[in-house]
Amino acid sequence: MLIVIISLIVAILALVLMAYTIKERILPVSQGSKRMHEISGYIKNGAMTFIASEYKFIVAFVVIVSILISIFLDFRIMICYILGSAFSMLTGFIGMRTATEANSRCANEAMEGGTNSALKLAFAGGSVMGYAVTGLGFSGLLICYLIFRDPAIVMGYSLGASSVALFARVGGGIYTKAADLGADLVGKVEAGIPEDDPRNPAVIADNVGDNVGDVAGMGADLFESYAGAIISAITLGLVSYGDAGLNFTLLLVTVGILASLVASFLFTSKNHRDPQKALMMTIYVSGAIVLIAAVILSFAYFGNIRAALAIITGIIVGIAIGLLTEVYTSDKFRFVQNIAEESKTGVATNIIAGLSTGMLSSVFPIILISLGIIAAYWADGVFGIALSAVGMLSTTATTVSVDAYGPITDNAGGIAEMAALPSEVRDITDELDSIGNTTAAIGKGFAIGSAALTALSLFVTYSETLNLESISILDSHVVAGMFVGGMLPFLFTALTMNSVGKAATQMIEEVRRQFRNDPGLLEGTSNPDYQRCIEISTSASLKEMILPGVLAIIVPIFVGLVFGPQSLGGLLAGALVTGVLMAIFMSNAGGAWDNAKKYIETLDGENGKGSDAHKAAVVGDTVGDPFKDTSGPSLNILIKLMTVVSVICAGLFI
């Protein structure tokens, strides 16, 4: 019990540092000119409008599910479910609100203090989300464990986190991509005006989308991965080693938080000549600290290095997938450059090159995940698989900090453009934003790898809960379940992509209407109706996110009740395989299309910005946007949510 208390204190320490960062390192910084303050206010109000509307729906959903849990399962699970939901929503709110406070301040720091000042401000804004995810995620889980002392009950906390994460990712993803498509296709392609031009009616909604999708949605995603991996490791650790397994897991997570705090301190304590190297160094430093601690704790608790090897496997696989993601999505490498080259012959060849790159990018990550699973199981059995997921997520505070930094610099660039700041300011924000694309690739690598390992460890927990010794693919019910499970990610993707298309159609028509009815917009003599575009994205995203979210919960319960636990096991296995493949393919294809467009924009001459190749690349980028920011990331949550639902409801299927 002492270990639980120590872990809780460290989790609270992360929250204290979060509050300190907001109060002392972000809010005191000037927001810049009146115009910068005004634009930031538009973004902030739009984000708050969306989050308030989204949370009203989520609260209603949580209330309904809580009642059903108390009736059919256990009142104690309901309490954990509510706490997990509440802490996840609170995390998203804090991170998103801080990001909207940091954007104009980052732009102003770029103007007054240069690259280093803007870099540190953006990282501070991102670190708030990192502290919130780990501090709230871990402390809430520990509170549930202190009260109930039963991992099966605490699994309700993970269910709450997963429920919120799915709606946050899908809703935020639909919002941001509807706005992005409207801003790009009408503003850039049809009207021929620059990105983030204040004459574009969808430009504020586009910047709002960066916060509700890439900050709040991403934070909720990693919050539920973090909670799910820890609970699964605790469950399997207790089964394998008793209290030693529990204490080892908790101390490992605790060290991960402390390691992230150390890395953050080292980053902010000095100036950096190479921003990308500095950001990557935070990941490497925190990871190295966890590796050393894992070896020490493994010998201390188990007298061998086996548990540490499983953790090392997870960290190596996560970093390797992230680096591979950069290879396929960065314009430094031939894959993105090839897409840019293919764009010279039109949209069709751009799309073909992007699709093939995304498909090819799934090969080596899947091989790495497979080898990681084998190595982790060899090291420490099923507990090793869970530990590899925890190892990958142990430095979540650092990963999220580096990931959330990106949308802040992106918004800062937009504010610089709309406030007509000197071109040198936009050069700084563009450089930092470009680095953010690379760091985001690392974050996506961890998200995809951890999703696969967390879902697999939860799948093992499901089997342990029902005492299933094996799930045979020679059983017709299992095979049927596998096919249905393999189909679900495709159905889910179709629904979310179609939702983006519907919402984007409304946005495009609205932007065209404003340009058509008010010629003064393009002349710069009148102001766009930004609020109308924000309302369209908000309404469309909330309406369209319901069906995909409900399916993830209803389908596994239906299959388990009607066809039994073996068939449900097949369904989870099928969804895991195709879900991970689709997530890698869509995320990397979208990232490659995006950076191919940006690569073309750096070229001079007839193949550069404004050329036919550029127009084709813009279309490819708009196709890739829902790939990488809506459907792809949501699949990670889908496979975990279905598995968590299956674990919690396992008793109903016997």
d(CA 269, CA 71): 53
Place of tokens 């997921």: 389
Position 437 scores a pLDDT of: 64
Smallest Cα–Cα separation from 628: which of 448, 388, 416, 413? 448
d(CA 63, CA 75): 13
Whats the size of the chain, residue-wise?
654
Determine whether 654 is exposed, middle or buried from the number of CB atoms within 10 Å of its CB (0-12, 13-18, 19+): exposed
d(CA 203, CA 223): 29
Cβ burial 52-91 (10 Å sphere, 16+ → b, else e): ebbbebbeebbeebbeebeeebbebbbbbbbbbbbbbbbb
Q: Would you say the pTM of this structure is higher than 0.85?
A: yes
Q: Which two tokens stand for residue 309?
A: 């090897």
Tens of pLDDT, residues 401-412: 888 888 888 888
Alpha carbon 64 to its chain centroid, in Å, reads: 26
Q: Which mean pLDDT values do the consecutive 10-residue runs of the chain (654 residues) have? A: 90 94 90 85 85 88 93 92 94 90 88 85 90 94 93 92 86 79 73 72 78 80 88 90 93 94 83 77 88 94 93 87 85 90 92 95 92 92 90 86 83 83 82 71 72 83 81 88 94 88 84 82 77 80 77 89 92 93 91 87 79 88 85 85 88 80
Position 537 scores a pLDDT of: 79
Amino acid at position 50, single letter: F
Position 461 scores a pLDDT of: 82
Inter-CA distances, 516 with 41, 188, 513, Å: 27, 16, 5
Q: For every residue of 523-565, which 3-state class applies, written as one string?
A: HCCCCCCHHHHHHHHHHHHHHHCHHHHHHHHHHHHHHHHHHCH
Domain parsing of the chain, residue ranges: 1-652
Tens of pLDDT, residues 606-635: 778 878 888 899 889 888 888 888 888 888
